Structure 1
Amino acid sequence: MHTEDEVELKVEQFNDSDVSNLIELSSSVCWDYDDQEIKTILSSGKIFGHKNSKGKIVSSAAIVPYDTNLASIGMVIVHSDYRGFGLGKKVTQQCIARVSKETSIMLISTEDGKPLYESLNFRTVDAVHKFLCEDFVCATLEVNNEFTLETYKVGDFHQVMVLDSAAFGGKRSKFLHNRIEQSKRCIVVKNQNREIVGFGLSVQGPINLLVGPVVAPDFKTAASIMKELAANHHGNLRIDVPSGHHDFMTFLHTCGFNKVNEPPVMMKNSSTMPHRDGRLYGIAAQVFG
């Protein structure tokens, strides 16, 4: 039984000194946030939450604002011992208050969290498709000699950012820089004119190698990026695919991936998703939209 002051805690902003405590909170709900992932969130946005009288973090929510009028909310967690007191709503409201009323806010919801977000005027506009793989075995791919896959170099950033902005639906230069720094591998796809037409990166988490974002001109190129990033990896993989990429999802099935979930994408201050050019085959992570 919690005392009155424990359930009327004040929302506070977290920093690097809270990382280990945030990892512990995420582990309590079986989410696989680690040190690097949380530091990327902190360097790209802000994390709010509550601590109990012993200094233990019992709730969290993150807001990641992008360069344009778009932001993403994620990492909304309430410890099981503190549910039912409205902490999740309070930290989500704190995130919303950090951006202007003209900013479109997206989040990827759990089914349990959907009623909370609907009460805050978020509306379902789409879905993502979560795929997991324990044993990656790539099907034979037809080689496209028009493109080459190369290791990302710092000088590639501007072209990569332009591609990401059109594919994601908003410019997010700070986050993209931080994500590339965090990545295990980052590769670019260049055409015969040496122009970058696609890219992909992988991030090693405590459980899965997370692949994304993946941006490509077509599903075969996206498949080639997936194959390259998964090559020689021994362990679990994960990719979250936006709706509308049936051929790519079929390819993933042939490689040993299974779709385990289809969480809704919800928006506030907008009735539709940001305009995307159809080239986003894998999102960075659910916290980043």
Structure 2
Amino acid sequence: MKADLTELDQLDIPGLIDLSESVGWDYDEFEVRTLLESGRVFGHKNSAGSIVSSSAIIPYDTKLASIGMVIVHEEFRGLGLAMEAIRKCAESINGDRSLMLIATKEGMPLYEKMGFKTVDYISKFLCDQFVPVKIQKHDGLFIEDFNQSDFAQLVDLDGAAFGDRRSVFLRNRISQSKQCLVVKNNNGEIIGYGLSIQGPVNLILGPIAAADPDTAALIAEKLALHHKGKLRIDVPEGRADFMSYLERSGFVKTNTPPVMMKNPAAMPQRDNSLYAIASQAFG
């Protein structure tokens, strides 16, 4: 079967959604558009012009790029399409960046073959019905809706939490979000923030960055509180207190996929304030 590798664009959004649905993933128009506006997407098309593979790369501001939406249609597996698309992604960015991805169980052998190494794990939590938990009052903290004047501080806070500044992605993600909240102290400094994204199945909570687990829980609760429907949040390892709060609120851990990196195979320097990632495509 012949399939040609090409760069995909806005006109390919319906085809990418169809490809996602073919493997049971729930990408929608808004999520795919954010991928395209924040990075580049490559994929193979068959002789009929249908998209049969995809791989996205989102380069962040300095030293890191995230790879996501690695999908191959069932009928075109075993032909090396995923490896070819991922390599094209890596070749498309400037500089010697570290590459990060969150692997599926099926994808791990391919990534290991390409030189990626496991450096961390993410815990995926799902919730059918959110149950508010009484959180200890935070004197001197103020939680409010994001304002454009907060953007520079938010990018700095996220950069320290994530390990690289993500200004283009955050601008696009905030625009996509259902809600974006910031937590400020008495001096008006932002010490935490969080986003919620409405997907076709779940309201996704993340990224969330905060000074401590209680502040992270406060943000998560405000984002989830009035939502009638399913919720999802992906939490980095080592967040036992926050995970305990999530479980008391009705979340159930369903999967623990690995975070894998290449060039070099080490996690970026983080300040221990990341409590939820944006998504498995964006890291």
TM-score normalised to structure 1 length: 0.97
Instruction: Give the equivalent residue in structure 2 for 1:112.
Output: 106
Task: Decide whether the 8 Å contact of 2:55 with 2:89 is kept in 1.
Answer: yes
For 1:85-164, what aligned pairs fall within 5 Å after superposition?
Answer: 85-100=79-94, 102-164=96-158
Instruction: Give the equivalent residue in structure 2 for 1:212.
Output: 206
**Tell me, what secondary structure is at the counterpart of 1:17?**
helix
Task: Decide whether the 8 Å contact of 1:59 with 1:77 is kept in 2.
Answer: yes
1:171 partnered with 2:165: yes
Instruction: Give the equivalent residue in structure 1 for 2:29.
Output: 35
TM-score normalised to structure 2 length: 0.99
Report deviation, 1:15. 0.4
| Identity level (%) | 53
Deviation per CA, 1:100-139, whole angstroms, max 9, x where unpaired? 4621000000011001011110011111110000000021
How far apart in 2 are the matches of 1:24 and 1:39? 14
Equivalent in 165, 183, 194 of residue 189 of structure 1: 183
Alignment gaps of 5+ in structure 2: none
How far apart in 2 are the matches of 1:178 and 1:129? 25
Report deviation, 1:69. 1.4
Report deviation, 1:231. 1.2
Equivalent in 70, 74, 86 of residue 68 of structure 2: 74
1:276 partnered with 2:270: yes
How far apart in 2 are the matches of 1:100 and 1:270? 16
1:231 partnered with 2:230: no
Q: Let me know the Cα RMSD of the aligned residues.
A: 0.8
Query: How many residue pairs are counted as aligned between the two chains?
Result: 283
How far apart in 1 are the matches of 2:59 and 2:113? 22
Instruction: Give the equivalent residue in structure 1 for 2:195.
Output: 201
Deviation per CA, 1:33-70, whole angstroms, max 9, x where unpaired? 00000000000000000011111100000000011111
How far apart in 2 are the matches of 1:192 and 1:165? 22
Report deviation, 1:271. 2.4
How far apart in 1 are the matches of 2:69 and 2:99? 14
1:16 partnered with 2:10: yes
Alignment gaps of 5+ in structure 1: none
How far apart in 1 are the matches of 2:67 and 2:279? 11
How far apart in 2 are the matches of 1:220 and 1:156? 22
Task: Decide whether the 8 Å contact of 2:115 with 2:262 is kept in 1.
Answer: yes
Report deviation, 1:270. 1.2
**Tell me, what secondary structure is at the counterpart of 2:4?**
coil
How far apart in 1 are the matches of 2:95 and 2:157? 27
Task: Decide whether the 8 Å contact of 2:8 with 2:42 is kept in 1.
Answer: yes
Segments of 4+ moved more than 4 angstroms: none
